[in-house]
A = this chain, B = another copy of it.
Amino acid sequence: MPTPRTGSPLALTVLALLQYKPLHPYGIQRLIKQWGKDKVVNVGQRTSLYRTIDRLITAGLIRVRETERDQAYPERTVYEITDVGRAVAREWLLDMLAMPKQEFPEFPAALSHLLMLAPQEISDALERRVRTLSEALAGLEAEISAETGHGLPRITMLEAEYLRVVTAAELQWLRSVVDEMRNGELTWSAADLVAFAESPE
Protein backbone atom coordinates (compact mmCIF):
# COMPACT_ATOMS: atom_id res chain seq x y z
CA MET A 1 0.00 0.00 0.00
CA PRO A 2 2.23 2.80 -1.22
CA THR A 3 0.77 5.95 0.27
CA PRO A 4 0.34 8.64 -2.40
CA ARG A 5 3.72 10.35 -2.71
CA THR A 6 2.33 13.87 -2.52
CA GLY A 7 0.22 14.87 0.42
CA SER A 8 -1.89 17.63 -1.05
CA PRO A 9 -3.06 20.52 1.14
CA LEU A 10 -6.58 19.16 1.04
CA ALA A 11 -5.57 15.60 1.97
CA LEU A 12 -3.54 16.92 4.88
CA THR A 13 -6.43 19.05 6.06
CA VAL A 14 -8.86 16.13 5.93
CA LEU A 15 -6.51 14.04 8.05
CA ALA A 16 -6.04 16.92 10.48
CA LEU A 17 -9.75 17.46 10.95
CA LEU A 18 -10.52 13.75 11.31
CA GLN A 19 -7.88 13.69 14.01
CA TYR A 20 -10.04 16.17 15.88
CA LYS A 21 -13.17 14.04 15.46
CA PRO A 22 -14.95 11.71 12.99
CA LEU A 23 -16.83 13.61 10.31
CA HIS A 24 -18.76 13.24 7.09
CA PRO A 25 -17.51 15.05 3.97
CA TYR A 26 -19.92 17.94 4.20
CA GLY A 27 -18.99 18.39 7.84
CA ILE A 28 -15.35 18.58 6.84
CA GLN A 29 -16.12 21.30 4.35
CA ARG A 30 -18.10 23.21 6.97
CA LEU A 31 -15.30 22.98 9.51
CA ILE A 32 -12.74 24.20 7.00
CA LYS A 33 -14.88 27.25 6.34
CA GLN A 34 -15.76 27.81 10.00
CA TRP A 35 -12.12 27.77 11.00
CA GLY A 36 -11.21 30.07 8.13
CA LYS A 37 -8.93 27.48 6.52
CA ASP A 38 -10.67 28.04 3.20
CA LYS A 39 -8.10 30.78 2.61
CA VAL A 40 -5.34 28.18 2.39
CA VAL A 41 -7.11 25.05 1.13
CA ASN A 42 -9.48 24.92 -1.78
CA VAL A 43 -12.86 23.41 -0.93
CA GLY A 44 -14.99 25.60 -3.16
CA GLN A 45 -16.63 22.61 -4.77
CA ARG A 46 -16.70 19.37 -2.95
CA THR A 47 -15.64 17.41 -6.02
CA SER A 48 -11.99 17.27 -5.04
CA LEU A 49 -12.95 16.62 -1.45
CA TYR A 50 -14.84 13.44 -2.32
CA ARG A 51 -12.05 12.25 -4.61
CA THR A 52 -9.47 13.02 -1.96
CA ILE A 53 -11.45 11.00 0.57
CA ASP A 54 -11.59 8.08 -1.87
CA ARG A 55 -7.83 8.14 -2.19
CA LEU A 56 -7.33 8.34 1.55
CA ILE A 57 -9.64 5.34 1.96
CA THR A 58 -7.82 3.18 -0.55
CA ALA A 59 -4.51 4.22 1.00
CA GLY A 60 -5.84 3.03 4.36
CA LEU A 61 -5.32 6.41 6.02
CA ILE A 62 -8.99 6.79 6.95
CA ARG A 63 -11.89 4.36 7.23
CA VAL A 64 -15.67 4.43 7.27
CA ARG A 65 -17.03 4.68 10.77
CA GLU A 66 -20.74 4.59 10.10
CA THR A 67 -23.37 5.50 7.58
CA GLU A 68 -26.05 7.68 9.05
CA ARG A 69 -29.45 8.29 7.56
CA ASP A 70 -31.23 11.31 8.99
CA GLN A 71 -34.60 10.64 7.35
CA ALA A 72 -35.08 12.00 3.86
CA TYR A 73 -31.63 13.64 3.91
CA PRO A 74 -29.06 12.10 1.64
CA GLU A 75 -26.91 9.50 3.29
CA ARG A 76 -23.99 10.78 5.29
CA THR A 77 -20.94 8.57 5.51
CA VAL A 78 -18.88 9.36 8.57
CA TYR A 79 -15.13 8.75 8.34
CA GLU A 80 -12.48 8.36 10.99
CA ILE A 81 -8.70 8.44 10.82
CA THR A 82 -6.59 5.30 11.21
CA ASP A 83 -3.31 4.95 13.08
CA VAL A 84 -1.49 4.82 9.76
CA GLY A 85 -3.30 8.02 8.80
CA ARG A 86 -2.14 9.76 11.94
CA ALA A 87 1.47 8.80 11.25
CA VAL A 88 1.35 9.72 7.57
CA ALA A 89 -0.23 13.10 8.30
CA ARG A 90 2.71 13.93 10.54
CA GLU A 91 5.19 12.88 7.87
CA TRP A 92 3.47 14.91 5.18
CA LEU A 93 3.29 17.95 7.38
CA LEU A 94 6.96 17.82 8.36
CA ASP A 95 7.83 17.38 4.71
CA MET A 96 5.72 20.30 3.52
CA LEU A 97 7.20 22.54 6.17
CA ALA A 98 10.82 21.66 5.55
CA MET A 99 11.01 21.27 1.78
CA PRO A 100 9.82 24.19 -0.34
CA LYS A 101 8.00 22.85 -3.37
CA GLN A 102 8.51 24.39 -6.79
CA GLU A 103 5.12 25.82 -7.62
CA PHE A 104 4.27 27.94 -10.62
CA PRO A 105 2.02 30.85 -9.72
CA GLU A 106 0.86 32.79 -12.73
CA PHE A 107 2.03 36.27 -11.76
CA PRO A 108 5.78 35.77 -12.17
CA ALA A 109 5.08 33.95 -15.45
CA ALA A 110 3.11 36.98 -16.60
CA LEU A 111 5.90 39.33 -15.52
CA SER A 112 8.30 37.51 -17.78
CA HIS A 113 6.36 38.59 -20.89
CA LEU A 114 6.05 42.31 -20.27
CA LEU A 115 7.80 43.05 -23.55
CA MET A 116 4.54 42.31 -25.35
CA LEU A 117 2.98 45.44 -23.83
CA ALA A 118 3.43 49.18 -23.90
CA PRO A 119 4.78 50.84 -20.73
CA GLN A 120 1.47 52.61 -20.00
CA GLU A 121 -0.50 49.39 -20.24
CA ILE A 122 1.89 47.74 -17.83
CA SER A 123 1.79 50.42 -15.18
CA ASP A 124 -2.00 50.66 -15.42
CA ALA A 125 -2.38 46.92 -14.95
CA LEU A 126 0.08 46.82 -12.06
CA GLU A 127 -1.72 49.70 -10.41
CA ARG A 128 -4.97 47.76 -10.56
CA ARG A 129 -3.15 44.88 -8.92
CA VAL A 130 -1.89 47.20 -6.21
CA ARG A 131 -5.43 48.29 -5.40
CA THR A 132 -6.73 44.72 -5.20
CA LEU A 133 -3.83 43.50 -3.10
CA SER A 134 -4.15 46.45 -0.72
CA GLU A 135 -7.68 45.39 0.07
CA ALA A 136 -6.63 41.80 0.56
CA LEU A 137 -3.88 42.92 2.91
CA ALA A 138 -6.26 45.07 4.91
CA GLY A 139 -8.55 42.06 5.22
CA LEU A 140 -5.71 39.89 6.50
CA GLU A 141 -4.71 42.48 9.06
CA ALA A 142 -8.27 42.90 10.25
CA GLU A 143 -8.59 39.14 10.62
CA ILE A 144 -5.37 38.87 12.59
CA SER A 145 -6.21 41.63 15.02
CA ALA A 146 -9.74 40.27 15.43
CA GLU A 147 -8.40 36.85 16.39
CA THR A 148 -5.80 38.40 18.67
CA GLY A 149 -8.54 40.39 20.39
CA HIS A 150 -10.49 37.16 20.72
CA GLY A 151 -7.65 35.73 22.77
CA LEU A 152 -6.60 33.04 20.29
CA PRO A 153 -2.95 32.00 20.63
CA ARG A 154 -0.59 33.17 17.93
CA ILE A 155 0.20 29.63 16.78
CA THR A 156 -3.30 29.38 15.28
CA MET A 157 -2.74 32.30 12.95
CA LEU A 158 0.75 31.79 11.68
CA GLU A 159 -0.60 31.07 8.21
CA ALA A 160 -2.37 34.44 8.19
CA GLU A 161 0.84 36.09 9.37
CA TYR A 162 2.73 34.41 6.56
CA LEU A 163 0.24 35.57 3.96
CA ARG A 164 0.37 39.07 5.39
CA VAL A 165 4.14 39.19 5.20
CA VAL A 166 4.46 37.97 1.62
CA THR A 167 1.52 40.07 0.40
CA ALA A 168 3.03 43.16 2.00
CA ALA A 169 6.37 42.42 0.33
CA GLU A 170 4.74 41.99 -3.07
CA LEU A 171 2.80 45.21 -2.60
CA GLN A 172 5.84 47.22 -1.62
CA TRP A 173 7.75 45.95 -4.63
CA LEU A 174 4.82 46.60 -6.97
CA ARG A 175 4.50 50.17 -5.74
CA SER A 176 8.18 50.84 -6.30
CA VAL A 177 8.03 49.40 -9.82
CA VAL A 178 4.97 51.45 -10.74
CA ASP A 179 6.61 54.57 -9.35
CA GLU A 180 9.79 53.99 -11.31
CA MET A 181 7.84 53.40 -14.50
CA ARG A 182 5.80 56.57 -13.99
CA ASN A 183 8.77 58.80 -13.21
CA GLY A 184 10.92 57.43 -16.01
CA GLU A 185 13.53 55.59 -13.96
CA LEU A 186 12.49 52.26 -15.47
CA THR A 187 12.40 52.39 -19.25
CA TRP A 188 13.55 50.30 -22.18
CA SER A 189 13.74 50.60 -25.94
CA ALA A 190 12.96 48.39 -28.90
CA ALA A 191 16.71 47.95 -29.36
CA ASP A 192 16.85 46.21 -25.99
CA LEU A 193 14.42 43.56 -27.19
CA VAL A 194 16.66 42.67 -30.11
CA ALA A 195 19.73 42.45 -27.90
CA PHE A 196 17.73 40.25 -25.56
CA ALA A 197 16.50 37.95 -28.33
CA GLU A 198 19.95 37.58 -29.85
CA SER A 199 21.58 36.90 -26.50
CA PRO A 200 22.93 33.36 -26.80
CA GLU A 201 22.99 32.66 -23.09
**Do A158 and B114 touch across chains, with their CB atoms under 8 A apart?**
yes
From B37, B103, B165, B192, A173 is in contact (CB under 8 Å) with B165
Does A65 interact with chain B (Cβ within 8 Å)?
no
Whether B104 lies near A97 (C-beta < 8 A) is no
Would you call A136 and B104 a contact (CB within 8 A)? no
- Let me know if B106 and A101 touch, CB within 8 A: yes
Partner of A188, one of B132, B153, B161, B163: B153
Q: How far apart are A123's CB and chain B's nearest CB, in angstroms?
A: 10
Q: Which of B111, B159, B172 contacts A112 (CB 8 A)?
A: B159
As a 0/1 sequence over residues 128 to 158 of chain A, the CB contacts with chain B under 8 angstroms (1 = contact) are 1100110010000000000000111111101
Residues of B within 8 A of A196 (CB): 152-153, 156
The residues of B that contact A133 with a CB separation of less than 8 Å are: 100
Chain A: interface secondary structure?
helix
User: A1 on the interface (CB 8 Å rule)?
Assistant: no
Query: Residues of B contacting A188 with CB < 8 Å?
Result: 153-155
Q: Is A12 an interface residue (CB 8 A)?
A: yes
Tell me, in angstroms, the Cα distance from A54 to B128 when the chains sit together. 32
Of the residues B39, B116, B156, B162, contact of A170 by C-beta under 8 Å = B162
